[in-house]
């Protein structure tokens, strides 16, 4: 490939063509890709042109085969403009393609890939040509999502829509040589896939044996609310096919149920408010005191805890009845849980009353790393006996008060109760006394 002075994709395609005896066909396809489109786009909706192009499209398994036939038609007629126009062919683009084609063949001969620069493209080599295209555009393998649409999935989480004029609309597996972004309705970008060729899974296995994997995996089916086991074949990260397996792996089944639980496809009784409070407390402490090196309960960690609790189960009703709390408790050593209760307690003591529950934020910090405060929702008149404003983490973090009136309506936020009581409370006391005369406003 390094010795060939051309785009690496074209070099790969030509080399594969040399191996499979179709270097001429591969060179012609490279010429099409490097120049103008030889089929006139504006003529695609012309019914007469469509009828005229039917021989080009008949039985073709690749859009490149259509182009080769169209080019051969134009060349046989010496690029006659009228004949080409009647078939929706751009005569000038065909001439340019032939010039590039001859240059590529000359290079191929110089490097020992072919001995005949004058050989004509052979239709019988259509399958070998598609192997060449696959070798050059393996990163653009597409899987049809369903037979009712032209939507496709590509590697690395990409997706796109096959152009409607492609002849490869029935193949579940294909490779495309062109991907382009166009504007759609509402200024939204749409990804269009063109220059497609139908391929087979065995071809991928032959060309890329080390990049094709088959692994047992489990997925949760929301309809019967159970775990299904599959043998999934992937090329890199793209799923190419799946077969049902007999028995699901115990750990994989637990992971599938855990993912379904986080998506709220079913609810687990023991995954209750106390667990969510525990998660918020630990994650807040991780943000407030990173020096303590506590392991956060982020989404992957929560998934692992749930998966451990659900291991070996296959039904949602089994997982719904499972006790997940011991699995969360095993997330870190018992000594660290004791430190959590000291640095980020669930409640704080209150003068002459029951301890009050703290409200830990679900999101511990903002995008700049500023830690969100822990809140205490408390009625203002219950604070009068408080001498000092409570803090957490050895005095390094203030507990923010959300001060409420006797009907639990918000009055104000407060980060320093003694100062609030001295400065702000006298301004609102008269109004509170008028609205709630039965309360002992000091």
Is a pLDDT exceeding 90 seen at residue 187? no
Contact of 30 with 1, CB cutoff 8 Å: no
* 309 token code pair: 């609790």
DSSP run (H or E) holding 193? strand 189-198
* 414 token code pair: 């407060």
Res 296: pLDDT: 97
Question: For 396-417, what is each residue's pLDDT tens digit?
Answer: 999 999 999 999 999 999 999 9
pTM: 0.72
Res 188: pLDDT: 78
* 378 token code pair: 């408390």
Res 115: pLDDT: 61
Judged on CB neighbours under 10 Å (0-12, 13-18, 19+), 349 is: exposed
CA–CA distance, 62 with 89 (Å, rounded to integer): 18
Domain boundaries, the chain: 8-201, 273-343, 347-435
Res 117: pLDDT: 66
Using alpha carbons, select from 270, 286, 214 the residue that is nearest to residue 243. Answer: 214
Question: For 202-257, what is each residue's pLDDT tens digit?
Answer: 999 999 999 999 988 899 999 999 999 999 999 999 999 889 888 888 999 999 99
Let me know how long the chain is: 442
CA 292 to chain centre: 34
Is a pLDDT exceeding 70 seen at residue 258? yes
Contact of 237 with 296, CB cutoff 8 Å: no
CA atoms in the 13 A half-sphere facing the CB of 355: 7
Beta bridge partners of 318: none
Res 440: pLDDT: 82
Contacts 24+ apart (CB under 8 A), 315-321: 315/225, 315/226, 315/227, 316/220, 316/225, 316/226, 316/257, 316/260, 316/265, 316/266, 317/225, 319/257, 319/260, 319/261, 319/266, 319/268, 320/266, 320/267, 320/268, 320/269, 321/269
Res 359: pLDDT: 97
CA atoms in the 13 A half-sphere facing the CB of 43: 17
CB atoms within 10 A of CB 17: 29
Average pLDDT of span 90-118: 88
Contact of 341 with 393, CB cutoff 8 Å: no
Res 193: pLDDT: 97
- Cα dihedral 47, 49, 53, 58 in deg (nearest 10): 0
Res 113: pLDDT: 83
The full DSSP string for 314-335 is -BHHHHHHS--HHHHHTTS-HH
CA–CA distance, 189 with 401 (Å, rounded to integer): 47
Question: For 319-362, what is each residue's pLDDT tens digit?
Answer: 999 999 999 999 999 999 999 999 999 999 999 778 999 999 99
């Amino acid at each position: 490939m390094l010795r060939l002075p051309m785009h690496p994709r074209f070099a790969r395609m030509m080399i594969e063509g040399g191996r499979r005896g179709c270097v001429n066909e591969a060179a012609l396809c490279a010429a099409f890709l490097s120049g103008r489109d030889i089929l006139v786009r504006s003529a695609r909706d012309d019914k007469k042109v469509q009828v005229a192009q039917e021989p080009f499209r008949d039985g073709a398994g690749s859009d490149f085969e259509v182009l080769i036939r169209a080019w051969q038609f134009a060349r046989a007629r010496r690029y006659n403009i009228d004949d080409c126009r009647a078939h929706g062919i751009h005569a000038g683009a065909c001439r340019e393609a032939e010039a590039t084609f001859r240059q590529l063949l000359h290079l191929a001969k110089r490097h020992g890939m072919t001995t005949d620069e004058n050989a004509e493209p052979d239709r019988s080599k259509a399958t070998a040509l598609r192997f060449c295209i696959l070798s050059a555009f393996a990163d653009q393998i597409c899987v049809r999502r369903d037979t009712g649409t032209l939507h496709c999935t590509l590697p690395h989480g990409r997706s796109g829509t096959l152009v409607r004029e492609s002849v490869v609309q029935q193949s579940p597996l294909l490779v495309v040589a062109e991907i382009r972004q166009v504007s759609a309705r509402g200024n939204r970008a749409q990804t269009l896939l063109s220059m497609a060729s139908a391929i087979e899974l065995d071809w991928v296995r032959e060309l890329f044996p080390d990049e094709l994997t088959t692994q047992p995996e489990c997925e949760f089916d929301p309809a019967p609310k159970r775990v299904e086991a599959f043998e999934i074949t992937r090329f890199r990260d793209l799923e190419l096919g799946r077969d049902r397996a007999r028995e699901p792996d115990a750990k994989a089944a637990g992971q599938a149920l855990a993912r379904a639980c986080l998506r709220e496809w079913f609810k687990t009784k023991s995954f209750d408010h106390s667990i969510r409070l525990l998660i918020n407390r630990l994650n807040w402490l991780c943000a407030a005191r990173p020096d303590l090196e506590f392991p956060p309960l982020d989404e992957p960690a929560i998934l692992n805890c749930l998966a451990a609790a659900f291991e070996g189960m296959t039904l949602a009703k089994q997982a719904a009845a499972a006790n997940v709390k011991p699995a969360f408790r095993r997330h870190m050593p018992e000594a660290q849980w004791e430190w959590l209760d000291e640095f980020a307690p669930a409640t704080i003591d209150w003068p002459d009353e029951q301890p009050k529950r703290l409200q830990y934020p679900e999101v511990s910090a903002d995008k700049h790393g500023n830690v969100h405060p822990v809140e205490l929702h408390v009625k203002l008149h219950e604070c009068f006996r408080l001498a000092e404003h409570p803090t957490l983490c050895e005095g390094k973090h203030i507990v923010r008060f959300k001060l409420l009136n006797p009907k639990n309506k918000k009055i104000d936020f407060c980060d320093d109760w003694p100062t609030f009581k001295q400065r702000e409370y006298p301004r609102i006391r008269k109004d509170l006394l008028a609205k709630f005369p039965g309360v002992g406003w000091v």
